[in-house]
Amino acid sequence: MVGVTIRSLLNGFIGPGGNRLSWAYEMQYPKACSHTHAVMLSNCRLSVLILELQKNIIRRSLCMKMTDAEPKVPVWPTVIRDVRKLWRIDKSNPFTEIPQCWVSSLNTIEEQRKGIIDLHPEVFRCTPRIDLLHRNITWQLNYRNLQLTKQLSKAEMPGGGRKPWPQKKTGRTHAGSIRAPHFHTGGFANGVRGPRTWFYMLPDAIRLHGLCSALTIKHAQNDLVIVDDFSALPSAEPQYLHELADTRNWGYSVLFVSDSAEVPTNLVDACEAIPSFVVMPVYGLNCYSLMKFETIVFCRLAIEILEYRILFHRHRAESLQKKYKYSDMKKMILSEAENEIDPTHVPFV
Note the pLDDT tens digit of each residue in 139-152: 999 999 999 999 99
What is the pLDDT averaged over residues 183-209? Answer: 92
124 with 226, same domain: the answer is yes
DSSP track, 44-90: HHHHHHHHHHHH-SS-S-SSS---S-PPPPPPPPP--EE--PPSS--
pLDDT tier, 192 (very low <50, low <70, confident <90, very high otherwise): very high
Q: Are both 123 and 228 inside the same structural domain?
A: yes
94 pLDDT tier (thresholds 50, 70, 90): confident
Residue 41, amino acid: L
108 and 213 together in one domain? yes
Highest mean pLDDT among 66-80, 90-104, 201-215: 201-215
- Whether the CB-CB separation of 177 and 163 falls below 8 Å is answered with yes
Between 345 and 248, whose confidence is greater?
A: 248
123-144 per-residue burial string, b: 16 or more CB within 10 A, e: under 16: bbbbebbeebbebbbebbeeee
**pLDDT over threshold 90, residue 40:** no
36 and 125 part of one domain: no
Confidence category of residue 39, pLDDT binned at 50, 70, 90: very low
Residue 176 lies in a domain: no
Residue 74 pLDDT exceeds 80: no
When pLDDT is averaged across residues 250-277 and rounded to a whole number, the result is: 96
Q: Answer whether residue 164 is part of any domain.
A: no
Q: Is 340 helix (H, G, I), strand (E, B) or coil?
A: coil
Q: Are residues 18 and 144 in the same domain?
A: no
> Which pairing describes strands 277-281 and 295-299: parallel, antiparallel, or unpaired?
unpaired
Is residue 253 domain-resident? yes
Give residue 69's pLDDT: 46
Name the pLDDT band for 76 (thresholds 50, 70, 90).
very low
For residue 222, tell me if it sits in a domain.
yes
47 part of a folded domain: yes
Q: Is the residue at 251 inside a domain?
A: yes
Please say if the pLDDT value at position 79 is more than 70.
no
Range(s) of the domain holding residue 27: 6-55
**Would residue 167 count as lying in a domain?**
no
Task: Kindly state the DSSP code that residue 249 receives in the 8-state scheme.
Answer: T
Q: How confident is the model at residue 72 (pLDDT cuts 50, 70, 90)?
A: very low
Please state the rounded mean pLDDT for residues 229-253: 95
The answer, yes or no, to whether residue 89 has pLDDT greater than 50, is: yes
pLDDT at 339 over 80: no
- As separate numbers, helices (DSSP H) first and strands (DSSP E) second, the chain gives 11, 9
pLDDT of residue 179: 95
Distance in angstroms (rounded) separating the CA atoms of residues 241 and 112? 15
Do 282 and 246 belong together in one domain?
yes
Q: Structurally, how many domains does the chain consist of?
A: 2
Q: How confident is the model at residue 84 (pLDDT cuts 50, 70, 90)?
A: confident
User: Does residue 115 register a pLDDT over 80?
Assistant: yes
% residues pLDDT > 90 (the chain) = 58
Highest-confidence segment of 193-197, 278-282, 337-341: 278-282
| Residues 43 and 121 both lie in one domain | no
CA distances from 184 to 29, 176, 188 (A): 100, 15, 10
The SS3 of residue 147 is strand
Query: Are residues 223 and 132 part of one domain?
Result: yes
Q: What average pLDDT is seen over the chain? A: 79
Lowest mean pLDDT among 114-128, 194-208, 217-231, 306-320: 306-320
Residue 250: its pLDDT value, please? Answer: 96
Within-domain flag for 157: no
Question: Residue 56: which pLDDT band, with cuts at 50, 70 and 90?
Answer: very low
User: Which range is least confidently modeled, 72-76, 103-107, 261-265, 279-283?
Assistant: 72-76
Q: What is the mean pLDDT of residues 60-65?
A: 38
Tell me the C-alpha distance between 210 and 132, whole Å.
Answer: 5
Same domain, 84 and 39: no
130 in the same domain as 35: no
**C-alpha of 180 from chain center:** 56
Q: Are 85 and 50 within one domain? A: no
Q: State mean pLDDT over 206-223.
A: 96
Question: Are both 144 and 10 inside the same structural domain?
Answer: no
